[in-house]
A and B are shown apart, each in its own frame.
Chain A
């Protein structure tokens, strides 16, 4: 064994995924489907994982797709929320 590992939170201006702690059963299927491995089971089974590397999220949605209880929401950074308007408001 070479060294002691430490889990150090690497911050970002964004937080891509949020867990509904009421719904999350802490199964960590999301963590195991996450391609970039940014969800770490720091608090152990039964608890939502920690989003340890939020800046590394690719926003693919695999965590949401794998969640059995619908506990995860994914949202784009503010700058990336494209605008939509009522079709009949155009030109008015």
Chain B
């Protein structure tokens, strides 16, 4: 035991006001804050970690998806959006994908202006098939249609932080947002700011804002938890557990697709390895050469099963195919967009290939090897140090060594059906064409939106939501924080400091994860779901009060568990609300009420209105015609970009 190295400010309060408040300082939050500040608003950005490297892409990302307006791209934003949404059986986010496809490349150009590296300026890959010699842009996946770019993502967060400072944005690092403030007027609810806690001193921060943008990513540690190495148990940052969902749920914001979860894909606390750290041929490693334990190369085939002879063909559409889809959430696309792949595992075993498999970059053309090991592995999140440096220090040489793949799939993972994750475009906040929620003054972006996926999506929607919140701030009035709301929240936040020798937060998180595995696993039914919901509620009313904290860091972890319990409730409610199994949502019921199927084909939304659960069905195509709807709402933006790209 030692003295706490920071000041004790528990119970002390600091008050702030601004026009636009952004919660979460990852890619989406930084872009929202920049856009609102560029529009002339007073902006506060609240980040639980430190903006310099916070969020999923804090240490980098290697490929920027769906940049359809880049000069080399042969796919229109409309074509791309419809393909992505149709690929997800219409449980995709048409509005956000369209913003991504239409404005993503603008964001990349902005990032370049502020010091981000987006081109091969050093000519390291001169002459490579994936490089455009004139623009020096590097492409990934489909080299013919060129909609995804390889980028130096590790340069982006520090550049964004410099930009925020230059724009005089107030950045509150080490501040966890914990609750949204609201006011009810004339039958409508308005978000009026937020409350948070400085996680080193325990100071309470009360922030009034005319408009608020939620950018706190998505829930985690719901089904997967490991008390020994909790930091490793999920794919996305340990810090992000869905606080943004929890606080929005508590004030009545509307969610959709929260009944969707998938069998786990990444959890380096046991079931899998550090992301991008094993031999594979997906995502960052696409299209690495794979070999079996005898050193025999594993064939790539196109969608028609035609064996590909050259490495270059792995990056080209099949004869008669316009383009193929690859990227973060594209796993097993439909025939129309299916790209080159290695033969399926069962077929390989039938043909006598032997485990284990390995990625063998030594057999690839020099530029393809260097771009995978050096640029992609290096710029991809969590790879510069944990993989590239670490493996190099251990002696790995991509010209000499092969890297093992574990088990039968590219993830090198082995999960049970009840070990689930919110992954592959999961649920989130429902929104309109302004990325506004059902609550006035409340906007959302990035991974907090439903069916979100990637970095370009986060940057583009972040900037867009920031613009719309900036406009709204001109119309909305500032409202003084409701003293009762503040008082309740302060008491809730600090209560564990009064508990002596209580439980550890990890014990409750583990109990919660087990409850989710047991009652909300692969197969659900009403009885199980009701029991699970009761158990989650009793963890809140009984266990949570017995948890103690020695300092604000531990308080933050307890607040996280409390939010996780809220998210679990949201998930249970969403599962209970959908009566019928739904394959695109990986939602399976043993008591599926088939007669409901046609009525349930759409976005089922859910909100918690002061204890009353409200649901709605919204048709999949609620966004309407893309070009018309977008143009109507973005004339100023379109004018401002004229002549820029």
Contacts and interface: CB of A to CB of B under 8 A. Distances in A.
A39 to B, nearest CB: 10
A57 B391 CA distance: 19
Contacts of B406: 82
Interface string A65-82: 110000000111101111
A77 B273 CA distance: 10
Contact of A90 (B200, B402, B403): B402
Interface of A: 1-9, 12-14, 16, 32-38, 40-42, 44, 50, 52-53, 55-62, 64-66, 74-77, 79-87, 90-91
Given A3-B498, A87-B401, A61 B49 contact: no
Contact of A56 (B231, B274, B497): B231
Nearest to A38: B231
B5 A41 contact: yes
Nearest to B399: A87
B335 interface: no
Interface stretch (B99-107, B377-385, B529-537): B377-385
A85 B10 CA distance: 54
A82 B404 contact: yes
B401 A84 contact: yes
B593 to A, nearest CB: 41
A91 B230 contact: no
A74 B553 CA distance: 22
Q: Which of A34, A42, A64, A83 has the most CB of B within 10 A?
A: A83
Nearest to A53: B553
B433 interface: no
B360 interface: yes
Interface stretch (B143-151, B289-297, B324-332, B453-461): B289-297
Interface string B4-48: 111011111000000000000000000000000000000000000
B238 A3 contact: no
B293 A90 contact: yes
Contacts of A6: 1-4, 550-551
A7 B402 contact: no
Given A7-B4, A59-B232, A87 B386 contact: no
Q: Which of B58, B227, B279 has the most CB of A within 10 A?
A: B58
B358 interface: yes
Contact of A5 (B53, B202, B228): B202
Contacts, number: 192
A36 B295 contact: no
Q: Which of A2, A12, A44 has the most CB of B within 10 A?
A: A2
A37 B49 contact: yes
Interface in B193-211: 199-200, 202
Contacts of A62: 52-53, 58-59
Given A42-B5, A75-B390, A87-B362, A12 B550 contact: no
B330 to A, nearest CB: 24
Contacts of A56: 230-231, 238
A86 B551 contact: no
Nearest to A90: B295
Given A42-B5, A76-B277, A86-B401, 13 more contacts: A2-B11, A6-B2, A6-B4, A7-B3, A35-B53, A60-B59, A61-B389, A76-B274, A82-B279, A82-B406, A87-B402, A90-B294, A90-B402
Given A55-B230, A59-B231, A82-B278, A35 B550 contact: no
Contact of B552 (A5, A44, A59, A91): A5
B448 interface: no
Interface of B: 1-6, 8-12, 49-50, 52-54, 58-59, 154, 174, 199-200, 202, 227-232, 237-239, 268, 270, 273-274, 277-279, 291, 293-296, 358, 360, 362-363, 381-382, 384-386, 389-391, 394, 396, 400-404, 406, 412, 494, 497-498, 550-553
Give the top 3 A-B pairs by smallest Cβ distance, nearest first.
Answer: A61-B385, A90-B295, A5-B4
B385 A84 contact: no
Q: Tell me whether chain A's interface is mostly helix, strand or loop, or mixed.
A: loop
Given A5-B552, A90-B358, A61 B382 contact: yes
Q: Tell me whether chain B's interface is mostly helix, strand or loop, or mixed.
A: loop
Contacts of A76: 268, 274, 277, 386, 390
Nearest to B401: A84
A59 to B, nearest CB: 5
B289 to A, nearest CB: 10
B389 A64 contact: yes
B586 to A, nearest CB: 26
Contacts of A16: 231
A57 B382 CA distance: 12
Nearest to A7: B2
A22 B295 CA distance: 44
A5 B8 contact: yes
Q: Which of A34, A38, A84 has the most CB of B within 10 A?
A: A84
Contact of A58 (B231, B363, B389): B231
Given A5-B550, A62-B58, A86-B401, A35 B237 contact: yes
B400 A86 contact: yes
30 contacts: A1-B8, A2-B498, A5-B8, A5-B550, A7-B4, A7-B5, A8-B550, A16-B231, A33-B53, A34-B50, A37-B49, A41-B5, A50-B2, A52-B553, A57-B229, A58-B232, A58-B237, A59-B386, A62-B52, A65-B59, A77-B229, A79-B270, A80-B268, A80-B274, A82-B278, A82-B406, A84-B391, A86-B400, A90-B293, A90-B295
A91 B391 contact: no
Nearest to A6: B550
B382 A59 contact: yes
Nearest to A35: B49
Q: Which of A56, A57, A81 has the most CB of B within 10 A?
A: A56
Contacts of A81: 394
A60 B277 CA distance: 13
A37 B238 contact: no
A3 B373 CA distance: 51
A2 B497 contact: yes
Given A2-B497, A61-B382, A74-B385, A66 B390 contact: no
